[in-house]
């Protein structure tokens, strides 16, 4: 596996895949080989189908996660081993369309106010104010805050794309308080790692996950609230406030506008502006029981 791992890493690097994607692909191929206890170059389409069924049946993973595992295996067999890949033999599972959970602004307020530490509080505020993914948030640099233009530069986002988002004046004040609270003012990272937040490396994305889950439980919002929920809230609340879809697409870093249209399903303003066809009918009144 060591030689094949090296080959796969070289192919991933040659195609300029991000480090997080490369790690995920390597892990998924390793999990595939661990399940069969055989080298991956000794496995074929029938093993991939059996592995997909195992992920659904025994590990109870959703179609999106199984698709991600299938994509990693496809890359390994096609990109590394240079073998043919038949979609007919190894299809991608059909994904279910589910609307994401969105909180009201009152619930977001309750979530942020329920943060267990000031550090967690500013993380949640930053996630909601910028719509950043938790991996992007973890790697915010102090230099990414453009105070003159009041924008945040999000660099190396999903798909290695850079984008700018607004810098909320309220968030700027909180970030300045946050930096003042740290035992030592950081030189690079806005959210430095280690227990006392004085490390040379940034926090891991898991820190934002922990901050959100703890606050959600304290606020009584359940276990379905996670950092990506704040990203959905960011987009939905902007749409309800009158922002256009194209602007929201740019702020989120979506490649296709179709990805952004999901927020039309979540916006109360757009739903309430569309009347039900029942309201256009003139129906006969139903007599009360007393009138019979």
3-state secondary structure the chain: CHHHHHHHHHHHHHCCCCHHHHHHHHHHHHHHHHHHCCCHHHCCHHHHHHHHHHHHHCCCCCHHHHHHHHHHHHHHHHHHCCCCCCCCCCCCCCCCCCCCCCCCHHHHHHHHHCCCCHHHHHHHHHHHHHCCCHHHHHCCEHHHEECCCCEEEECCCHHHCCEEEECCHHHHHHHHHHHHHCCCCCCCECCECCCCCCCCCECCHHHHHHHHHHHHHHCCCCCCCCHHHHHHHHHHHHHHCCCCHHHHHHHHCCCCHHHHHHHHCCCHHHHHCCCCHHHHCCCCCCCCHHHC
pTM for the whole thing?
Answer: 0.80
- Rounded CA gap, 39 and 30, in Å? 9
What are the tens digits of pLDDT across the range 67-112?
A: 999 999 999 999 999 998 887 788 888 877 778 899 999 999 999 9
Would you say residue 129 has pLDDT above 80? yes
**Mean pLDDT of the region 204-217:** 96
**pLDDT category, 19, cuts 50, 70, 90?**
confident
pLDDT of residue 1: 55
Domain boundaries, the chain: 2-80, 105-272
The pLDDT of 266-290, averaged and rounded, is 78
- pLDDT (0 to 100) of residue 89: 80
Q: What is the pLDDT of residues 150-161, one digit of tens each?
A: 999 999 888 778
Q: Does position 291 have pLDDT exceeding 70, yes or no?
A: no
Percent of the chain with pLDDT over 90: 74
- For domain 105-272, the CATH class is mainly alpha
Reported as a pLDDT band with limits 50, 70 and 90, residue 131 is very high
By annotation, the residues acting in catalysis are 133, 158, 228, 231, 254, 263
Mention the CATH class of domain 2-80: mainly alpha
């Amino acid at each position: 596996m060591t030689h094949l791992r090296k080959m796969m890493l070289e192919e991933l690097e040659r195609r300029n895949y991000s480090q997080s994607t490369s790690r995920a692909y390597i892990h998924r191929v390793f999990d595939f080989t661990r399940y069969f206890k055989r080298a991956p170059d000794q496995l074929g389409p029938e093993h991939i189908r059996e592995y997909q069924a195992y992920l659904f049946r025994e590990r109870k993973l959703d179609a999106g996660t199984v698709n991600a595992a299938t994509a990693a295996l496809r890359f390994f067999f096609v990109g590394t081993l240079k073998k043919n890949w038949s979609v007919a033999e190894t299809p991608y599972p059909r994904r279910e369309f589910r609307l994401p959970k969105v909180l009201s602004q009152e619930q977001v307020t309750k979530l942020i106010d329920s943060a267990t530490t000031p550090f967690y509080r500013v993380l949640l505020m930053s996630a909601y104010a910028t719509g950043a993914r938790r991996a992007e948030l973890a790697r915010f640099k102090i230099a990414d805050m453009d105070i003159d233009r009041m924008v945040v530069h999000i660099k190396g986002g999903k798909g290695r794309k850079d984008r700018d988002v607004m810098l909320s004046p309220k968030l700027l004040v909180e970030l300045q308080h946050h930096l003042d609270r740290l035992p030592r003012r950081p030189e690079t990272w806005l959210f430095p790692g280690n227990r006392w937040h004085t490390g040379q490396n940034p926090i891991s994305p898991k820190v934002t996950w922990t901050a959100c889950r703890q606050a959600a439980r304290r606020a009584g919002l359940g276990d379905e609230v996670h950092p990506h929920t704040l990203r959905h809230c960011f987009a939905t609340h902007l749409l309800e406030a009158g922002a256009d879809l194209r602007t929201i697409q740019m702020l989120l870093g979506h490649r296709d506008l179709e990805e952004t249209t999901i927020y039309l399903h979540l916006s109360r303003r757009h739903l309430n502006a569309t009347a039900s066809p029942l309201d256009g009918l003139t129906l006969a009144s139903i007599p009360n029981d007393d009138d019979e």
